[in-house]
Chain A
């Protein structure tokens, strides 16, 4: 007994940051990468040159001291374009996640509590889900003038049903809990019950879902740009960079490395953050490590 106490006491107290990093390697790893990308995107004018200026003399030059990742078919700096491309990708990813969560949460709460709303809305959303996200987004974009805002709206639309289903599932399970019945029995109104007792329960899975939505939005945006739908061509995005470098792949493979690697890295980082958050927020689903 005393030996055990002594041993416990002799172990160093694992405190603070390092302990947290050790316990949550995926969360911290993903967050660090993401943070670096966000900082780079914000500081783009400081760390990269002009992404638009074309110098045809310099076209398709391999990586050098002046152009770290080489130049593309119009002689534009691939490094600068990759960094500026992060702005579009991150903005689309984050706005889609935020908007889809907000709309999905409201619809999900209503659908989970009101039977009439549920039948109508859920069938509509099921119909929406049957169409692949990318096709729906292309259709939506081709109906309107190309801009980043339209792209965001086009990607939000197919993500909403997924969020609604998640929120509704949580609402349906929580509203059967005795404490909700007890709240009704003490005369609480439905909006207050939703806010007080049900909303908090939906947040952990919702936050995790938001990261996955964010990752998939970044990929869909890249796909849309690749296909030439959506983001105006004068704005550098990873998708349209990959699309234009495809033609010169044999001649100048470096043109595709910058955007390709950046896309893979960011999506991976977002997914790592999602996994890490899931492990933290929802212990029942956590992988045993």
Chain B
């Protein structure tokens, strides 16, 4: 087997501010094969976005720092690259889609201009060529009348169209990898489906691998091949998507699945399940399993010793970090 496109090994990103250190990402490892889609799921504040920003080294300067681990992209350790070297990779080899399509486009520049900009920076082509490419990209993301709409400004587009423009921007340089940070969260449900479908289509066309960051398990089920479940800055479970839904192993993953509304039409509304307790503070180091305080299976060992990853039911692709894995699986 060849080396994966992206391999994150033991990544730790901490935020340093006046009242202490926040361990936003704490020893995270995962990998992404070429042309694969991996979902990173977890609730707000579990380190999903910080992971994405760490990969592109877009952490707020002086506040957030990668303090350990390696980010191997095409065999190159991004963690050790200088800012000019990173600039050559951002937008060129790795594209990024942000959560807010409403504000991620500059309101005073035409969208053709904004798409062409990345192409000109990285490919060094003429303005005309870059414009032609921008037009081609707009066609690709199915914006009607691409030729005319190049000169329109962001306010002339709807939210879903703006997100498609963002996708066009991110893919304009043919990146090998796309990081999509909650790409559909700000959109309404029907548009979400359109945008996801479009992303998958484009992925098939361009062959870009995708890291999809989301808190929406439904989105993961529809789009991803593998899923990484994060909790409190750590990976708790990783599995091929089918197995994760068929057989969630970590108590947190189970809680997450149970808290998804699953109503049948006409059925009596039931109270949603929730995971009791709160996300632990990331200010203090957590010696054991981060989920232990909220976990119904927790024993003393969970609180004191950090669990190692174990294969679930003999499947090496399905891994979970839980001391009581065998007991949980029996349920």
Q: Chain A residues in contact with chain B, CB under 8 A?
A: 115, 177-179, 181-189, 192, 196-197, 200-201
Q: Is the CB of A189 within 8 A of B87?
A: yes
Q: Give the distance in Å from the alpha carbon of A183 to the alpha carbon of B107 in the complex.
A: 13
Contacts of A183 in B (CB 8 A): 106, 117
Given A182-B166, A187-B87, A197 and B56 contact (CB-CB distance below 8 Å): no
Q: Is the CB of B100 within 8 A of A178?
A: yes
- Scan B106-117; emit 1 where CB is below 8 A from any A CB, else 0: 111100000001
Q: Is the CB of B92 within 8 A of A187?
A: yes
**B230: CB under 8 A from chain A?**
no
Whole-angstrom distance between the Cβ of B184 and the nearest chain A Cβ:
16
**B103: CB under 8 A from chain A?**
yes
Q: Is the CB of A179 within 8 A of B87?
A: no
**B78: CB under 8 A from chain A?**
no
Q: Is the CB of B104 within 8 A of A181?
A: yes
Closest to A185 in B: B96
Q: Is the CB of A184 within 8 A of B109?
A: no
Given A187-B87, A187-B88, A182 and B105 contact (CB-CB distance below 8 Å): yes
Q: Which of B34-60 contact A (CB under 8 A)?
A: 56, 58
**B209: CB under 8 A from chain A?**
no
Q: Is the CB of B121 within 8 A of A188?
A: yes
Q: Is the CB of A186 within 8 A of B91?
A: yes
Whole-angstrom distance between the Cβ of B141 and the nearest chain A Cβ:
16
Whole-angstrom distance between the Cβ of A209 and the nearest chain B Cβ:
19
Contacts of A181 in B (CB 8 A): 58, 98, 104
Contacts of B121 in A (CB 8 A): 186-189, 192
Q: Give the distance in Å from the alpha carbon of A201 to the alpha carbon of B98 in the complex.
A: 22
Contacts of A182 in B (CB 8 A): 96, 98, 104-105, 166, 169
**B122: CB under 8 A from chain A?**
yes
Q: Give the distance in Å from the alpha carbon of A153 to the alpha carbon of B95 in the complex.
A: 49
**B89: CB under 8 A from chain A?**
yes
Given A184-B90, A186-B91, A187-B90, A179 and B118 contact (CB-CB distance below 8 Å): no
Closest to B99 in A: A178
Q: Is the CB of B92 within 8 A of A200?
A: no
23 contacts between A and B (CB under 8 A): A115-B62, A178-B98, A178-B103, A181-B104, A182-B96, A182-B105, A182-B166, A184-B58, A184-B90, A185-B91, A186-B95, A186-B118, A186-B169, A187-B87, A187-B121, A188-B87, A188-B117, A188-B121, A189-B87, A196-B106, A196-B109, A197-B109, A201-B108
Known pairs A178-B98, A179-B103 / 8 extra A-B pairs, C-beta < 8 Å: A115-B62, A185-B58, A185-B90, A186-B95, A187-B121, A188-B91, A188-B121, A196-B109
Contacts of B107 in A (CB 8 A): 179
* Residue from the list A177, A185, A186, A200 in contact with B117, Cβ < 8 A: A186
Whole-angstrom distance between the Cβ of A132 and the nearest chain B Cβ:
36
Contacts of A201 in B (CB 8 A): 108
Given A186-B169, A187-B121, A179 and B106 contact (CB-CB distance below 8 Å): yes
Q: Which of B51-90 contact A (CB under 8 A)?
A: 56, 58, 61-62, 87-90
Pick the most buried of B62, B92, B96: most chain A CB atoms within 10 A of its CB. B96
Q: Is the CB of A179 within 8 A of B169?
A: no
Whole-angstrom distance between the Cβ of B72 and the nearest chain A Cβ:
20
Whole-angstrom distance between the Cβ of B157 and the nearest chain A Cβ:
14
Closest to B94 in A: A185
Report the 9 A-B pairs with minimum CB-CB distance, sorted nearest first.
A186-B91, A187-B91, A187-B90, A186-B118, A179-B106, A178-B104, A178-B103, A185-B96, A182-B104
Whole-angstrom distance between the Cβ of B111 and the nearest chain A Cβ:
11
Q: Give the distance in Å from the alpha carbon of A184 to the alpha carbon of B170 in the complex.
A: 12
Closest to B107 in A: A179
Contacts of A187 in B (CB 8 A): 87-92, 118, 121-122
Contacts of B105 in A (CB 8 A): 179, 182
Q: Give the distance in Å from the alpha carbon of A211 to the alpha carbon of B10 in the complex.
A: 57
Closest to B90 in A: A187
Whole-angstrom distance between the Cβ of B98 and the nearest chain A Cβ:
6
Q: Give the distance in Å from the alpha carbon of A197 to the alpha carbon of B105 in the complex.
A: 10
Q: Give the distance in Å from the alpha carbon of A187 to the alpha carbon of B90 in the complex.
A: 5
Contacts of A200 in B (CB 8 A): 108
Whole-angstrom distance between the Cβ of A197 and the nearest chain B Cβ:
5
Closest to B115 in A: A186
Contacts of B108 in A (CB 8 A): 200-201
Q: Give the distance in Å from the alpha carbon of A201 to the alpha carbon of B109 in the complex.
A: 11
Q: Give the distance in Å from the alpha carbon of A189 to the alpha carbon of B121 in the complex.
A: 9
Pick the most buried of A181, A182, A184: most chain B CB atoms within 10 A of its CB. A182
Q: Give the distance in Å from the alpha carbon of A187 to the alpha carbon of B108 in the complex.
A: 20
* Residue from the list B56, B106, B109, B122 in contact with A185, Cβ < 8 A: B56
Contacts of B170 in A (CB 8 A): 186
Whole-angstrom distance between the Cβ of B137 and the nearest chain A Cβ:
13
Whole-angstrom distance between the Cβ of B163 and the nearest chain A Cβ:
12
Closest to A186 in B: B91
Contacts of B106 in A (CB 8 A): 179, 183, 196-197
Q: Give the distance in Å from the alpha carbon of A177 to the alpha carbon of B104 in the complex.
A: 7
